[in-house]
Structure 1
Amino acid sequence: MADAQVTCITKPNVNSSHEHITHLGNPVSQWRWTREQVIASIDAGTNTFYVLDPVSGARANIGVVRETGRMPYLRTYADGQWNNNLLSLNQCPI
């Protein structure tokens, strides 16, 4: 199983703080996957994904959230709580 750091995201509307994420990636490691690919990989136990807090360096793992009536989506999980560290990442280069 690979452990992959996510350093950027892609959203349809760059300025929206609540817009859904379409892609996650890491330009230094030269990868960019769709949200669906990341969800499938987490579900299969093939890879783990995480972000690092730029100030503290603390790791926040990325997990799949499933709510009734909604499509699955990705969020970070740290210190026993779900949070939205992903939305604060820079936009991935195209």
Structure 2
Amino acid sequence: MASRHEIKCINKTNSTIAHERIERIGGMNGTGTWWSLTQQEAIAGIEEGRWGFYVARGVAAVNVNVATSTYGNKYIKTENDGEQSNNLLSLPECPL
């Protein structure tokens, strides 16, 4: 079973192309240290069943899924929660 992790921040690129907008995702471990993955590492982890990711929205958790662009490029995005069009892109920048 995949371990679930909350995404608390992202690092964006300057691209407007869906599969290139997010460079890295990150969050905090139980020890208080930050973890960080590239978008490609996160996609591989989701597809291999190692990890599941979510974004917290108040008391709700919005799942992160792998999507495929019209040109066949994979990227991550949140499920539609009826409020935010893209919960990932609204997160703050991760510390580097």
TM-score exceeds 0.5: yes
| Aligned mates of 1:20, 1:71 — CA distance in 2 | 12
Match of 1:48 in 2: 52
Q: How has the CA–CA distance of structure 1 residues 40 and 7 changed in structure 2, closer, same or farther, with 3 Å as cutoff?
A: same
TM superposition outliers: structure 1 runs of 4+ over 6 Å: none
User: May I ask how many residue pairs the two structures share in their alignment?
Assistant: 87
- Give the alignment of 1:1-94 within 5 angstroms: 1-13=2-14, 20-26=21-27, 28-29=28-29, 30-53=34-57, 56-79=58-81, 83-94=85-96
Kindly provide the amino acid, as one letter, of the partner of residue 77 in structure 1.
E
RMSD value, Cα:
2.3
| Aligned mates of 2:74, 2:39 — CA distance in 1 | 10
What's the secondary structure of 1:90's corresponding residue?
Answer: coil
Q: Percent identity?
A: 37
Deviation at 1:79, TM superposition (A): 4.7
What's the secondary structure of 1:4's corresponding residue?
Answer: strand
Kindly provide the amino acid, as one letter, of the partner of residue 20 in structure 1.
R
Structure 2: which 5+ runs fail to align?
A: none
Structure 1: which 5+ runs fail to align?
A: none
Kindly provide the amino acid, as one letter, of the partner of residue 59 in structure 1.
A
TM-score normalised per structure 1:
0.80
Kindly provide the amino acid, as one letter, of the partner of residue 39 in structure 2.
R
Do the aligned partners of 1:59 and 1:78 also contact (CA within 8 Å) in 2? Answer: no
What's the secondary structure of 1:91's corresponding residue?
Answer: coil
